[in-house]
């Protein structure tokens, strides 16, 4: 359902008083919340603290990627990216990460981070802002970012880099004083938070398991870092029971060994 609104109310009717539209379609009019989003394939970027001329130039540079650009009637241009419907599950699961990756790749990390949610309000083209200025359409195209394209692969590499950067946990996060341990303490890593989290949480599905990959990576890395082969075997055993292949598990261990150890 396409939804319009102001800061206080929403409607499926584009009334003149509604200067905003909800970025992604909603399931119904019960609320403008991320949990009520029907789709998660549209992403908006606005750079209020960047010179307006530069924003227009950037929007022009992105016209082969973006599906729409709208002047806000004040100090920003709202640029929207749209991914194909086949990527709905991916976009829903990694929405903030995809937004952050695109912000880095295409907006020099200048976009307002408050835009990084699917139920975000964005300026409705053609509406008149409270300052009397028209929120005019800069352009609208049928550009859709598709999975089997170099563009999506470029974005997805950036997403994976962001995810990998979060895998490196701090001592505070793990809530353990690792400095007092020697290099080989079989069984001790089982009590670390990152390992406990993975071992206790069930990941029954083949896809769409949320943080399955990240939590497994953290648990394996912790065990390898401190030479805890006993707990590592338990972690890998759980992964195998949840259909991770030997090739995938070897790749994870090789990546950790080459990058972190």
Residues carrying CATH 3.30.70.1790, the chain: 4-152
Instruction: Decide the pairing of beta strands 42-45 and 68-71.
Output: unpaired
- pLDDT, block means (10 residues), the chain with 261 residues: 93 92 96 95 96 97 97 96 97 95 96 95 95 96 96 94 66 46 61 86 73 88 86 92 90 86 70
> What token pair was written down for 192?
């670390």
- Sign, CA dihedral 8-12-17-19, equals positive
What is the pTM assigned to this prediction? 0.66
Beta strands in 56-194 (DSSP E): 68-71, 77-82, 121-123, 137-140
Which strand (E) or helix (H) includes residue 4? strand 4-5
> What token pair was written down for 237?
């055993």
Query: Cα separation of 224 and 179, whole Å?
Result: 15
CB atoms within 10 A of CB 165: 8
Q: CB of 221 within 8 A of CB of 256? A: yes
CATH 3.30.70.1790 fits 4-152, yes or no: yes
């Amino acid at each position: 359902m396409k939804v319009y609104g102001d800061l206080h109310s929403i409607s499926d009717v584009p009334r003149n008083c509604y200067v905003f539209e909800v970025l992604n379609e909603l399931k119904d009019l019960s609320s403008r919340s991320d949990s009520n989003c029907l789709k998660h394939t549209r992403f908006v970027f606005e750079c209020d603290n960047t010179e307006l001329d530069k924003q227009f130039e950037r929007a022009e540079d992105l016209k082969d990627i973006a599906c729409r650009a709208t002047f806000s009637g004040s100090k920003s241009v709202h640029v929207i990216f749209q991914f194909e419907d086949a990527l709905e599950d991916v976009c829903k699961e990694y929405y903030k990460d995809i937004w952050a990756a695109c912000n880095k790749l295409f907006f020099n990390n200048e976009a307002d981070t408050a835009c990084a949610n699917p139920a975000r309000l964005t300026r409705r083209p053609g509406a008149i802002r409270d300052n009397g200025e028209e929120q005019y359409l800069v352009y609208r195209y049928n550009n859709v970012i598709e999975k089997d394209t170099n563009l999506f692969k470029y974005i997805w590499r950036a997403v994976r880099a962001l995810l990998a950067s979060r895998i490196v946990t701090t001592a505070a996060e793990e809530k353990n004083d690792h400095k007092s341990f020697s290099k080989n303490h079989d069984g001790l890593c089982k009590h670390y938070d990152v390992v406990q989290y993975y071992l206790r949480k069930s990941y029954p599905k083949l896809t769409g398991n949320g943080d399955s990959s990240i939590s497994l990576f953290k648990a394996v890395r912790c065990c390898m870092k401190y030479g805890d082969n006993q707990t590592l075997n338990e972690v890998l055993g759980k992964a195998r029971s949840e259909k991770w292949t030997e090739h995938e598990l070897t790749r994870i261990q090789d990546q950790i060994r080459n990058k972190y150890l």
